[in-house]
Amino acid sequence: MGLLQNITKRMPSSGLPSLDDFSKRKNRITPRLAFFRRRIRLRGNSSISIPLGVVLLFPCIVIILILVLFLRHPSSPGRILMPAGAPPSIRKISEQHDRVFATGCLDPHTQNKGERANAAFVVLARNKELEGVIQSVKSIERHFNRWFHYPYVFLNDGEFNSTFKETVMNYTSAPVEFGQIDPSMWGFPEWTDAKVAKEGIAVQGDAAIMYGGMESYHHMCRFYSGFFYKHKLLEKYEWYWRLEPEIKYFCDITYDPFQYMASANKTYGFTIAVKELKETVPNIFRYASAYKRKNNLQSKGLWEMFIESPPEDPKPLPKDDPKYKPPLPDELRKIEPNAGGVNEVDPETMEGEKYNMCHFWSNFEIARLDWFRSKEYEEFFDMMDRSGGFWMERWGDAPIHSLAAGALLSPSDIHYFRDFGYRHTTIQHCPANAPSRQLPREPFLEKTTSDEKKRREEDEYWESWDPEKENGVGCRCRCDTDIVDVEGKQGSCLAEWVEVAGGWASP
Ligand code: GDP
Ligand code: MN
């Protein structure tokens, strides 16, 4: 743009009108436009001159082009500059390995005609979480289980009190079982030195690692990583749907996800994939990678979802570039630190790969139990467990499940429930509603709300659902508006999933 400063504006030289000037006269009818026809010279003494309009127009076009390209780029942070009311459009994901089971609403009364799957909701909870549990049960009953009546299994390391049990049963007409977890599945195993483990946990507390200093949280993560599927009350089931206290569903689920998972030959389903806090799992990847190597496992295409993409090699400079440095002779390369010899090994990498912290967020999961019960998963868990990472670090069950899936499964074994609107704490995924695929909703008047007016209001809230939108897949979704969808947020691993699932199918 420095060029503009060199431009000196000059009036066209005055003098007797030439023939040429006569031919231009008709243009003077519009004097305002004539301003832009004034010619200016590029330098004071230059013989070349251009119309002022062109000089003014050129930088404007450049600026507009830059803005358009910047804002249109899908991964551009500039998207947040877009005015409200023009949210980014929804992109389609390739259906090469996985596709949404139902776009928009189906008729639940037709859908529930068939057989039920051998499946249950699994809820781990404590008595003090009763309120949060009620919220979750109410939500899943309203949006799904009022049509499908899948049973619930509640598990606790302690004993559920009668208030908890009686209250919960009021909120569903489906069968409910309550079970206690015995010490073989909870707490320090006999082969660990509990004193060392407790010290390890204390250190993480001092380091302010999230939940790091909370012993019960470590036990919970280990239970969900390697034991829940072996609990006596789950033995009879083939499938489970994990439910946590204080979650919310936003859309109606008008089909049976277990049956669709079975028909599509799926093993594991998720709604949200995000990045883990690095300090909770510093060494998890080295062990997972070692497991993969020890068993000679080749990636089936999912492992890459969890690998940091290698930085692009910087282009070698041309030899005439002033910054060009010739490569060191071999003898020197061995001495010079960080010059490409052995010293360049990154302590965080394993087999040249680095964990990108992505994982399926396991507070929601619909999965096949026999995968967890398989010899391969069992060996994976055992190797991870023996490393001590559940105590000396704060490994979550989410990265454990995800890295096991990465080592053992392929993208086509995984299902993204993109049509499920779901919220846990401050993260939500909530789809837009599918155009022309909405069906009228039947009221669901909850029996436990005694206040008649409140009961109706609670239901009426769900009667006015969000607008339909191109490429939306939801059925009667009404999303919370205080937070934005995780799909478009930093820390989301949607892009990583899309990459292994076959890429984007729309711009
Ligand atoms: P977050 O979702 O990671 O913030 O962790 P939560 O506190 O929600 O715990 C995850 C799940 O484990 C929830 O279903 C909790 O109810 C359950 N949970 C966590 N700690 C314990 C525990 O010590 N005992 C029992 N019985 N359940 C627990
Ligand atoms: Mn939770």
Name the band, by pLDDT with cuts 50, 70 and 90, for residue 325.
confident
Ligand sitting nearest the alpha carbon of 126: 1
Whether 340 has a pLDDT exceeding 50, the answer reads no
How confident is the model over 361-384, as a mean pLDDT?
98
DSSP labels, 209-256: -TTTT-HHHHHHHHHHHHTGGGSGGGTT-SEEEE--TTEEE-S---S-
> Which pLDDT does position 83 carry in this prediction?
43
Ligand 1 atom having least distance to the Cα of 125: 16
Residue 223 Cα distances to 53, 181, 269, 312, 335, angstroms: 73, 9, 20, 40, 49
Name the band, by pLDDT with cuts 50, 70 and 90, for residue 324.
confident
> Which pLDDT does position 116 carry in this prediction?
98
Whether 217 has a pLDDT exceeding 80, the answer reads yes
Helix or strand (DSSP H, E) at 401: helix 397-408
> Which pLDDT does position 285 carry in this prediction?
98
Would you say 236 and 91 are in contact if contact means Cβ atoms under 8 Å apart? no
Residue of minimum CA distance from atom 5 in ligand 1: 217
Q: What is the pLDDT of residues 266-305, one digit of tens each?
A: 999 999 999 999 999 999 999 999 999 999 999 999 999 9
Ligand 1 atom having least distance to the Cα of 246: 8
Q: Which of 122, 123, 124 to mutate to test the pocket of ligand 1 (most atoms within 8 A of CB)?
A: 124
Q: Which residue has the higher pLDDT, 303 or 338?
A: 303
> Which pLDDT does position 57 carry in this prediction?
78
Q: Which of 154, 220, 364, 428 to mutate to test the pocket of ligand 1 (most atoms within 8 A of CB)?
A: 220
Ligand 1 atom having least distance to the Cα of 123: 14
> Which pLDDT does position 30 carry in this prediction?
52
Angle subtended by helix axes 215-226 and 397-408, to nearest 10: 30
> Which pLDDT does position 77 carry in this prediction?
41
3-state secondary structure of 102: coil
> Which pLDDT does position 197 carry in this prediction?
98
Q: Which residue has the higher pLDDT, 41 or 100?
A: 100
Q: What is the pLDDT of residues 63-104, one digit of tens each?
A: 766 665 655 544 444 333 444 445 668 999 999 999 999 999
Q: How far, in Å, from the CA of 214 to the mean position of ligand 2? A: 15
Would you say 173 and 244 are in contact if contact means Cβ atoms under 8 Å apart? no
Q: Among 20-34, 193-207, 264-278, 353-367, which stretch is predicted with the lowest mean pLDDT?
A: 20-34
Rank 17-26, 76-85, 295-304, 339-348 by mean pLDDT and report only the highest. 295-304
Ligand 1 atom having least distance to the Cα of 129: 16
Q: Which of 134, 223, 244 to mutate to test the pocket of ligand 1 (most atoms within 8 A of CB)?
A: 244
Name the band, by pLDDT with cuts 50, 70 and 90, for residue 327.
low
3-state secondary structure of 156: strand
How confident is the model over 3-25, as a mean pLDDT?
40
Q: How far, in Å, from the CA of 125 to the mean position of ligand 1? A: 6
Helix or strand (DSSP H, E) at 17: none
Q: How far, in Å, from the CA of 394 to the mean position of ligand 1? A: 14
Helix or strand (DSSP H, E) at 366: strand 365-368
Q: What are phi and psi of 208, to 5 degrees?
A: 55, 35
Ligand 1 atom having least distance to the Cα of 244: 14
> Which pLDDT does position 313 carry in this prediction?
67
Name the band, by pLDDT with cuts 50, 70 and 90, for residue 23.
very low
Question: Quick one: DSSP state of residue 159?
Answer: -
Our answer on whether the CB atom of 129 is closer than 6 Å to any ligand 1 atom is: yes
Q: How far, in Å, from the CA of 331 to the mean position of ligand 2? A: 56
Ligand sitting nearest the alpha carbon of 160: 1
Q: How far, in Å, from the CA of 449 to the mean position of ligand 1? A: 27
Q: Which residue has the higher pLDDT, 307 or 74?
A: 307
State the first-to-last Cα distance of the chain, in angstroms, to the nearest integer: 33
Our answer on whether the CB atom of 127 is closer than 6 Å to any ligand 1 atom is: no
Q: Among 39-43, 273-277, 372-376, which stretch is predicted with the lowest mean pLDDT?
A: 39-43
All residues at 6 or more sequence positions from 92 whose CB lies less than 8 Å from its CB, including other chains: 471, 504, 505, 506
CA proximity to 462, closest of 172, 130, 144, 86:
144
Q: How far, in Å, from the CA of 124 to the mean position of ligand 1? A: 7
> Which pLDDT does position 43 carry in this prediction?
62
> Which pLDDT does position 55 carry in this prediction?
63
Residue of minimum CA distance from atom 26 in ligand 1: 156
Ligand 1 atom having least distance to the Cα of 216: 23
Residue of minimum CA distance from atom 4 in ligand 1: 425
Ligand 1 atom having least distance to the Cα of 157: 26
Whether 28 has a pLDDT exceeding 60, the answer reads no
> Which pLDDT does position 141 carry in this prediction?
98
Q: Give the chain's domains with CATH numbers.
A: 108-118+187-228+246-307+350-358+369-431+479-501 (3.90.550.10)
Whether 452 has a pLDDT exceeding 70, the answer reads yes
Residues forming beta bridges with residue 368, ordered by sequence position: 239
The active-site residue, picked from 365, 393, 487, 496, is: 365
Whether 12 has a pLDDT exceeding 90, the answer reads no
Q: How far, in Å, from the CA of 146 to the mean position of ligand 1? A: 26
> Which pLDDT does position 14 carry in this prediction?
40
Residue of minimum CA distance from atom 12 in ligand 1: 124
3-state secondary structure of 83: coil
Rg (Cα) of the chain, in Å, rounded?
31
Average pLDDT of the chain, as a whole number: 87
Question: Quick one: DSSP state of residue 144?
Answer: I
Our answer on whether the CB atom of 244 is closer than 6 Å to any ligand 1 atom is: yes
Whether 27 has a pLDDT exceeding 50, the answer reads no
Our answer on whether the CB atom of 185 is closer than 6 Å to any ligand 1 atom is: no
Whether 59 has a pLDDT exceeding 80, the answer reads no
Strands 273-275, 247-249: parallel, antiparallel or unpaired by DSSP?
A: unpaired
Our answer on whether the CB atom of 216 is closer than 6 Å to any ligand 1 atom is: yes
> Which pLDDT does position 450 carry in this prediction?
85
Percent of the chain with pLDDT over 70: 78
Name the band, by pLDDT with cuts 50, 70 and 90, for residue 21.
very low
Whether 9 has a pLDDT exceeding 50, the answer reads no
> Which pLDDT does position 449 carry in this prediction?
84
Whether 403 has a pLDDT exceeding 90, the answer reads yes
The span from the CA of 348 to the CA of 357, in Å, is 12
Our answer on whether the CB atom of 363 is closer than 6 Å to any ligand 1 atom is: yes
User: Exposed/middle/buried for 19, CB within 10 Å: 0-12, 13-18, 19+?
Assistant: exposed
pTM for the complete prediction?
Answer: 0.80
Residue of minimum CA distance from atom 18 in ligand 1: 125
Q: How far, in Å, from the CA of 126 to the mean position of ligand 2? A: 12
Whether 157 has a pLDDT exceeding 90, the answer reads yes
Helix or strand (DSSP H, E) at 427: strand 427-429
Q: What is the pLDDT of residues 161-193, one digit of tens each?
A: 999 999 999 999 999 999 999 999 999 999 999
Rank 96-105, 328-337, 348-357 by mean pLDDT and report only the highest. 96-105
Question: Quick one: DSSP state of residue 155?
Answer: E
CA proximity to 146, closest of 109, 176, 182:
109
Active site annotation includes 365: yes
Our answer on whether the CB atom of 458 is closer than 6 Å to any ligand 1 atom is: no
Q: How far, in Å, from the CA of 132 to the mean position of ligand 1? A: 11
Total Cβ atoms within 10 A of residue 335: 10
